[in-house]
Amino acid sequence: MRQKIVAGNWKMNLDIDSGKELLIQIIDADLNSDCLTIVAPPYIHFHNFKRMLSHTNIALAAQNCHAQESGAYTGEISVKMLKSVGVEYVILGHSERREYFNEDSLAISFKVNTVIKEGLRPIYCCGETLAERKEGEHFETISTQIKQGLFQLNEMELLNCVIAYEPVWAIGTGETASPEQAQEIHAFIRKTIAEEFGEIVANSISILYGGSVKPGNAKELFNCPDIDGGLIGGAALDVTSFTALTNSF
C-alpha cells in the first residue's frame, strides 16, 4: 500500500520564535499515525528542529537545495548540509521556484540526482499554468516535466521519490482543482511512469496534490484512488487546519 503523506511547506514564513511555537503545537497535536507528516520550514529552523523532532514520527524537509555537493555558490545550501541537520526530504521544482527563479525540469533533474545520491528523498513538483490548461496543453506539460525531471533515474531510485501535482493556477489563489480534475492528472502521471518503468513501480509511488488544500476539501481529494495526500501551503501554518488535514484520509 502506498504511503499516505501530508507535507507542510512553510515557504518564507515564521522567524525562530514563531517557528518553534508552531512546531511544538504540531508535535503536541493529535496527528493521524497512519499518515506520514512532513514539515518543510525555512533553513534557519533546521538545527533546532532536528533536536525537537528526534523522538517523533514527523519528518523534516527542505524547500530546495543546490545540485552541486559544495563549492563557490554564495547563498546556496548543499544536500550534505541538509542531511547533517536531520533533513530527510527535499522539495524540488515547486512552481514558485520554476516561475520566480527560472528553474526548468532539466536543471531540477540534477538536483534530484544529488538528493538521491545522498540518500534523501525528493518531493518532485509538477503542474500546469492556467494558460496551458485553457489551451489543452496540460497533459503535455505534465508529461514533459515528469520525463525530464525523473526519467534519468533507475527503478529503485524512482521508488525513493514522492511526486506532487500542483496546478499553478490553484496555488495561493483560493481556487482548487476539482477532485475529478486532480484525479485525472494523478492517474495520468501514474500512467506516464508505468509506460517507462512498469505498473508495479508506478503503483508504488506516492503522488500528492498541492493547490489550496484545506480541511473543507481535503477529504474529497484524498479519497480519490490516485491521490495519496497533500503538499500543503497556507494551511500548514495553522496547527488546527494542519492536524485536520492529516486526519482527512
Residue 56 near residue 27 (C-beta atoms within 8 A): yes
Contact 209, 231 (CB under 8 A): yes
Calculate the CA dihedral of residues 40, 10, 45, 71 and round it to 10 degrees: 70
Burial class (CB in 10 A: 0-12, 13-18, 19+), 244: buried
The three-point CA angle 55-60-62 to 5° equals 160
Contacts of 81 (CB under 8 A, 6+ apart): none
191, 208 Cβ separation under 8 angstroms:
no
Residue in 94, 103, 132, 186 annotated catalytic = 94
Query: DSSP code of 61?
Result: E
- What pTM value is reported for the model? 0.96
Other C-beta atoms lying within 10 Å of the C-beta of residue 204 = 17
pLDDT at position 33 is: 93
Residue 189, pLDDT score:
98
- In this predicted structure, what is the pLDDT of residue 46? 97
Q: What is the 8-class DSSP label of residue 85? A: T
pLDDT of the chain, 249 residues: tens digit per residue? 899 999 999 999 999 999 999 999 999 999 999 999 999 999 999 999 999 999 999 999 999 999 999 999 999 999 999 999 999 999 999 999 999 999 999 999 999 999 999 999 999 999 999 889 889 999 999 999 999 999 999 999 999 999 999 998 877 777 778 999 999 999 999 999 999 999 999 999 999 999 889 999 999 999 999 999 999 999 999 999 999 999 999
User: Among candidates 161, 58, 77, 149, which has minimal Cα distance to 119?
Assistant: 161
Q: What confidence score (pLDDT) does residue 169 get?
A: 82
Out of 103, 128, 132, 166, pick the active-site residue: 166
pLDDT at res. 173: 72
Please provide the CATH number assigned to the domain covering 5-246: 3.20.20.70
Is 47 among the residues known to form the active site?
A: no
